[in-house]
Amino acid sequence: MKNTENRSIKKSFRFTQSEWSLIEKKCVIANITPTQYFQQIAVYGKTAKRDCLKEKNIYMGQIAMIGNNINQIARKLNSEEKVDLWMLQLLLKIEKYLNEKLLL
């Protein structure tokens, strides 16, 4: 339901760079602007669910590929063969990617 009342009151807030980065990531995930994000959080205590099926499918495909890479590395590690440097570098890249995308 759309609010037909004119929003005439303007407020401003201050954030640290890390706080603002987190807010921006949450807005991207919810597919809303920061203004919409703050309005929904303030009024409803949560953001409305958006149709993010396309984005969800993209992330699921990426996670599946990452899982495949992790399984290949695990097989190599469990085979008692020499571990290649590229495997360790790949694991670090995967960890960094997941931390960024999953807001950890």
The ranges assigned to domains in the chain are 14-50, 53-101
More confident residue, 18 or 51: 18
Question: If you average pLDDT over every residue of the chain, what do you get?
Answer: 79
pLDDT tens track for 5-29: 888 888 888 999 999 999 998 888 7
Tokens found for residue 64? 């599946």
Q: 14: which residues sit within 8 A by CB, 6+ positions away?
A: none
User: How many Å apart are CA 64 and CA 94, to the nearest integer?
Assistant: 12
- CA dist 104 and 92 (Å) reads 15
Q: What are the pLDDT digits (tens) for 56-84?
A: 777 778 788 888 878 887 787 778 767 67
The pTM assigned to this predicted structure is 0.43
d(CA 23, CA 14): 12
